[in-house]
Each structure stands twice: as C-alpha cells, then as structure tokens.
Amino acid sequence: MDTTLQDPLVGQVLDGRYRVDARIAVGGMATVYQALDTRLDRVLALKVMHPTLAADVSFVERFIREAKSVARLAHPNVVQVFDQGADGSYVYLAMEYVAGCTLRDVLRERGALQPRAALDVLEPVLAALGAAHRAGFVHRDMKPENVLIGDDGRVKVADFGLVRSVDTVTHTTDTVLGTVSYLAPEQIEHGTADPRVDVYACGVLFYEMLTGDRPHYGDSPATVLYKHIHEDVPPPSAVVPGMPYPLDELTASATARNPDVRPYDAVALLALARGTRAALSEEQLDVLPPQAIDDGRLGSEARTSVIPRLLPVDEDAEYAEDAEREVLRTSRFESPPPLPPGRRSARARRRGPLAAVLAVLLALGIGTGVWYINSGQFTKVPAVLSKTQAAAEKKLSSAGLDVGKVTHRYSDTVDRGTVISSSPAPGARIRDNGSVTLVVSDGPETVRIPALSGVTLAKARAQLKRDGLEPGMVTREFSEDVPEGSVISTDPAAGTERHAGAAVALTVSKGSPVEVADVTGADLADARAELEEAGLKVKVAAEQVTSDEYDKGEVAAQTPDGGTEVAAGDTVTLTVSKGPETVEVPDVVGDSVDDAKQALTDAGFQVKEDRGLLGLFGDTVKSQSVAGGESAAKGSTITIKIR
C-alpha cells in the first residue's frame, strides 16, 4: 500500500511554489518529500519539519539560521540547500533532489564492498566534509543513511541541517544527537563536537563498508555507547582475511578513541585515504568481500565498484596549499563547464568520431585494446595474474612476448610463487615481441624474532624496529641472572617467525629481589639506616599517626610491608607514630568517689581506687595520680586516693 496517499501534504503546494508529489522518507526531525518547484520547473527534495518541533520557536530559529549557513556551502559532493520558508505550520527546506539510493541501501543489499569501492565512496564524502570543516561547520551525524549515491554515480553528503559551528560546544542531556553506532567517544562522554567527531564517524562508516557490519553491537544503545568509549574499533582484517594492512591503519587512525590522535579534520583524513589508495596494488584494491567469496562471485563479476571514477584525481596534490581548493580537487565528480552549441573546441571536434566509436565499444563490453589488435602491430598482454611464474612465462611466450625482469615482493594475499602484477598490465596494448616484466609473490613477509636476552630495553626496541617488528607490551620481573633493565625473554620466543609489523612482548628484569625488613616499632633513625643499608630508599610520610601500640618517634607503619620483595633502589615509605592520643585529666580532688569516677570515665580514662586503711569507709578523693589539668594517654588508668 502506498503510504503517501495518507500523507496530508502530498498533492499540496507549499508557499504557492512547491508542489509535493511523493513522500520519500521520514526521520526524527522531518519528513522528506519529492516536490516540483513550479516557478523554475525543477524536481527537488522538500524537507518539512515535524509539527511538534515546528511549534518550538527557538528551535525553528536555529534551524533557519543553520540552513542559511549551510546554503553557503557550495560543493559538488554536498546536497545543496536552495530555499527555506514556512507555510502555516509547515517549516521547510528546499534541497537538491538526488535520484538514486543511500549507502545504507547499498550495504543492506550487497554487504561488504571491495576496498576500491569503499574508497570510491569515502573520498568524496571526505571532500564534502572537508569543505564544511574548513568553512567552520561540523556535520555531527555522519552515517550511511546520509550518504547519497546518485544514479549517475555521484556521491553526496546530506542532512547538514544538524550542523554546528566548529567553535560551538554542544552539550546533550536527555538525548544524544546522532546515531549511536557512529558517535565519537567525546560526544558520548562530554557532549562536545568538533571536526574530529566527523572523522571518527567516517572511520566507522569505512569499517562498515569493508566488513559489511558495524564494529560495536549491544543489547541496548547504552551498551554500544559504552563500547565506543572503552573498546577500540577492531581492524577490518579481523573480519575479512586478506584485507591489506594499510586499510587497517587508515581505519585505526580515523577511529582512535583519543581525539588528539585522529586526523584533525576531514581534509587531513582525505589525504591519508588517498595515500592508502596509492599504497595498494590493483589486486589489493579488489580483495573480495566475505559474501562474494561465500557466493562464489569471482573474477570480473566480483570486481564491481559502486562509484565510477568519472574524472582522474591528481594523487600528488598538496591539500595544505589552500583548504577549499583542495577539497574541491579531491572530488572526482566536478563537471566541466558546459559550452554553448557551436563553441566546442577544435580538439573536441577532431576527437568526436573516435570518441563515439570508443563509447560504442565500451558499451558492448569490448576493451579499446581489441580495436587496435587488427592493425597487426600490437597485441594484448595475456592474463597472468595469480598464475605460477612458470605458467605466466609460458603464456607470455605463447603470445609472442618476451619475459623481462622478474622481481619479487612479499604479499599477504597472493600465494608464494604466483604473479602479483605485470607491466604492462593484463589486457594492455603492447607491440608484438614486446617485453613484459613480472612481480612474483614471496608469500607473507615473515621475520625471525631476534635473540634479545640480556639486551637493554632501549636497544631491544631499536633492534625489533630494524628487523621490521613492533615493540609490544613490557612486563617486569625479578631475575637473579639478568641485570636490571635488560630483557629476560620475548613473546613470541626468539627464533619464532612472524609477519613483518607483528608486535613482540618483552619481559624486562627488575634485577635481584631485595626483601624489605620489618622496621615497625623501631626508632625512625634506626629504621632508616637498616633499609638504606639494604639498598633501598626511604621516604617519611608527611603525616604522623596516633598509636596506642607505638611510642612517639617509632615507626607505626611501612609500605611495602616487611617481607615483601622489591627491586634495589625501590622506595619504602615509613609512617611515624606521635604516640597515643592524649586528653586533659579532670581535677577530681575533693569530689565524692562516685562523681570523681564518673568524671574520669567520661574523659576516657580507667579509674583505680586506693583507700588504704583510713579510707575504707571514706567517700572523698584526697589525691589523684595525674594532677588535674595535665594530659595523659586516653584509656590510661588514673588512681584516686580516698579518705
């Protein structure tokens, strides 16, 4: 059933100009319609705020103010805002209409994408966000639903209606703006948003494109939010075996939980993305996603890129020269300015027939190389990728081609002894009897863990890096044999082979253990001397403690405790007693026995009676063992003599 028939806006004309034709989508803030601008006769998207929000005057004012700001953000990868207005209770934005689908639709239908396709989506998204960031805006709600893919292959970022100025700190209370799966840790913890939250969201989005799934799941939104704060986004290669390491690095950089570690804005991340693409071979860019392998979709059918590269990208451009020009350069969808009829250049007129022929050949799926083969001077380089070196050489020889230089390269994705790439590439034109160079895989690059026992930690770390490994976690243990600060062992053990770049954990010696003497109850000077003679340092706590057990000046406590094993040079902290707590003794001479005992007991003392022979029947205190007004230890005994 067409739900648009029940929508009261469908069929109406807003502001006497925009005819609402169909409902496209419903979101948390607004409903989006396909509409016709009757004044300019063009199809556009009309975003109409929900009536409940439209009743909030301050919200509407902010919505309009931000819409006007975003309308100034002219970029080929940003959905443009044409107009804003209100018609009765309807507050709307008139925006560019993009015929096509969202990235969410693509992921839902296809699952994971090949790295080439994922980068083809990510780069124009970053170009759009880069323009926004350099103009002073943060999107704050990047997710696949807000990435539109047009029928013509163009990528555009939508829903800039929630942007904030870069220098604005946003705090949320009852609700968290944005979708929980893409929120940066600082958005969740502090409610703050700067360009790095968009960088984080794009990193999560990129992970989802490479793996077909989001990195964090939970039984509730709160669980997902907790994982964003406390768990790193896993590397895509953990889900997709054979995923090239540079893609893991790009994902980790964008999704670093510490915002200071991330690229500072989308332009910086775009530069990393383009560098990552340049570092990957054609085979690595076309790593099959899991579902393609499961479904048996191999070869050319699996090498489908969602977004065609319509225009070449200057891979060596320096984005630091001019931010706005850079983000425009990074968009591969900028169209050349149209020329009026009859004004085509001579070059365009000359290439017209050839271009038409090539277009027909390409439409039929025929490579341009085929068109030239019949000349008799050229042939095609045969397909030799993933073949053994011997088989590749035989195939080249059968095609009348010579085998040129053969080089070797490590590869995590291509089996040892098989061809990684050729130059010229398979299918390329080459003169008869031409020479083809081959790059053959040596398999995964492995490094033998060096023997580092007895080597200082600094030198061990340097050695690991020289060998192509990464120093990992350091733990410290006592050792009678290995000097303090030197390596006891490694994990993996010495001699073990590991992939280049693998982390090696190090166990480092704390030296021979020293048993801490128990110096509680000793005079401070004596305790210090004993500990220092054992090679330990002594620190005296600033605060002294009262103690019924230890006299003033004696050690009442120590950290670590006596009997604990520590390294030579470690510090033992001593806490000194200031003796028991003292209180003033009340004067009870002349008081009755009962009153005297009550006064002394209330003051915290024990009471002892001394009656003698003359005081057996007396009831008056003649004297007391500690005179009234003097201090005595709380809980001590005061003797009263009775007459």
In this structure, are residues 197 and 205 in contact, taking their beta carbons and an 8 Å threshold?
no
Q: In the structure encoding, which two tokens stand for residue 496, read together?
A: 């073990």
Burial class (CB in 10 A: 0-12, 13-18, 19+), 338: exposed
Domain-located, residue 348: no
Residues 104 and 29 in one domain: no
Task: Give pLDDT, residue 161.
Answer: 52
Collapsing DSSP states into helix, strand and coil, what is residue 2? Answer: coil
Which is nearest to 327 in space by CA: 68, 71, 73?
73
**pLDDT digits 0-9 by tens, 330-384:** 333 333 334 333 333 333 333 343 333 333 333 333 333 322 223 346 788 898 8
- Amino acid identity of residue 161, one-letter, is G
What's at 257, amino acid-wise?
A: R
Are residue 527 and residue 636 in the same domain, yes or no?
Answer: no
Question: pLDDT confidence of 615, banded at 50, 70, 90?
Answer: low
pLDDT, residue 377, reads 60
Residue 575: Cβ within 10 Å count: 18
The overall average pLDDT reported for the chain is: 80
User: How much is the pLDDT for 3?
Assistant: 44
pLDDT tens-digit series, residues 213-258: 999 988 888 888 888 898 889 999 888 888 899 999 999 999 999 9
Whether residue 212 is found in the same domain as residue 309 = yes
- Rg of the chain (C-alpha set): 39
Q: Are residues 4 and 81 in the same domain?
A: yes
The whole-number average pLDDT for the span 192-208 is 93
Domain identity same for 92 and 105: no
- Same domain for 592 and 490, yes or no, is no
pLDDT(313) > 80: no
CA-nearest of 415, 408, 423 to 388 is 415
Interval 461-489 mean pLDDT: 89
Q: Single out the residue of 551, 512, 565, 519 nearest to residue 538, CA to CA.
A: 519
Which one, of 183, 171, 142, lies nearest residue 159 by Cα? 142
Looking at residue 453, its pLDDT comes to: 94
In percent, the amount of the chain with pLDDT more than 70 equals 82
Domain-terminating residue out of 421, 442, 463: 442
Same-domain pairing of 424 and 482: no
Evaluate whether 258 touches 217 at the Cβ level (below 8 Å). no
Local structure of 347: helix, strand or coil: helix
Same domain for 274 and 196:
yes
- Could you give the C-alpha distances from 618 to 411, 560, 586, 622, 640, in angstroms and in order? 106, 56, 21, 10, 12
Q: How long is the chain?
A: 643
User: What gap in Å lies between CA 420 and CA 280, rounded to an integer?
Assistant: 12
Q: Are 572 and 557 members of one domain? A: yes
The pLDDT score that the predictor gives to residue 203 is 97
* Residue 133: inside a domain: yes
Q: How much is the pLDDT for 163?
A: 44
Residue from 557, 475, 481 nearest 513 by CA: 481
Same domain, 477 and 401: no
Q: Tell me 410's DSSP state.
A: -
Measure the CA angle with vertex 157, ends 31 and 138; round to 5°.
Answer: 95
Give the pair of three-digit tokens for residue 120.
């083809």
CA-based max dimension of the chain? 144
Instruction: Name the residues annotated as catalytic.
Output: 141
**So what's the pLDDT on residue 223?**
87
Question: Do residues 467 and 434 make contact, with C-beta atoms less than 8 angstroms apart?
Answer: no
Tokens (6 digits) for 106: 């693509």
Q: Would you say residue 629 lies in a domain?
A: yes
- pLDDT class for 509, splitting at 50, 70, 90? very high
- DSSP collapsed to 3 states, 501-567: CCEEEEEEECCCEEECCCCCCCEHHHHHHHHHHCCCEEEECCCCECCCCCCCCEEEEEECCCCCEEE
| Identity of the amino acid at 225 | L
User: At residue 186, what are phi and psi to the nearest 5 degrees?
Assistant: -70, -25
Q: What is the mean pLDDT of residues 618-624?
A: 90
- Note whether 24 and 125 are same-domain residues: no
In a domain, 529, yes or no: yes
**What residues have CB less than 8 Å from 458, skipping those under 6 apart?**
none
**CATH code at position 65:** 3.30.200.20
The per-residue pLDDT for range 455-469, each reduced to its tens digit, is: 999 999 999 988 888
Per-residue model confidence (pLDDT) at position 507 = 93
Please name which of 565, 553, 568 lies closest in space to residue 520, comparing C-alpha atoms: 553
pLDDT value of residue 41: 87
Q: Which residues of 210-244 are buried (b: 16+ CB within 10 A; e: fewer)?
A: bbbebbbeeeeeeebbebbeeeebbbbbebbeebb
Tell me the C-alpha distance between 363 and 380, whole Å: 20
CATH of the domain at 385: 3.30.10.20
Residue 511 has pLDDT above 60, yes or no: yes
The domain spanning residue 301 has which CATH number? Answer: 1.10.510.10
The pLDDT score that the predictor gives to residue 171 is: 40
* Domain around 459: 446-509
Does 482 lie in the same domain as 384? no
pLDDT 10s digits, 68-77: 777 878 888 9
Q: Judging by beta carbons within 10 Å of its beta carbon (0-12, 13-18, 19+), is residue 383 exposed, middle or buried?
A: middle
Predicted confidence at residue 584, as pLDDT, reads: 92
* Boundary of a domain, candidates 75, 97, 119: 97
266-279 and 195-211 helices, crossing angle to 10° = 30
Tokens representing 359 are 């277009």
Let me know if residue 364 belongs to a domain.
Answer: no
Domain finish residue from 390, 409, 442: 442
Which amino acid, one-letter code, is at 448? R
- Per the structure, how many domains does the chain have? 6
Whole-model pTM: value is 0.48
Whether 185 is in a domain gets the answer yes
How many Å apart are CA 279 and CA 409, to the nearest integer? Answer: 14
Decide: 274 and 250 in contact? Cβ < 8 Å. Answer: no
Q: Find out whether 574 and 560 touch, Cβ atoms under 8 Å.
A: no
Domain-embedded: residue 33:
yes
3-class DSSP state of 458: helix
368 in a domain, yes or no? no
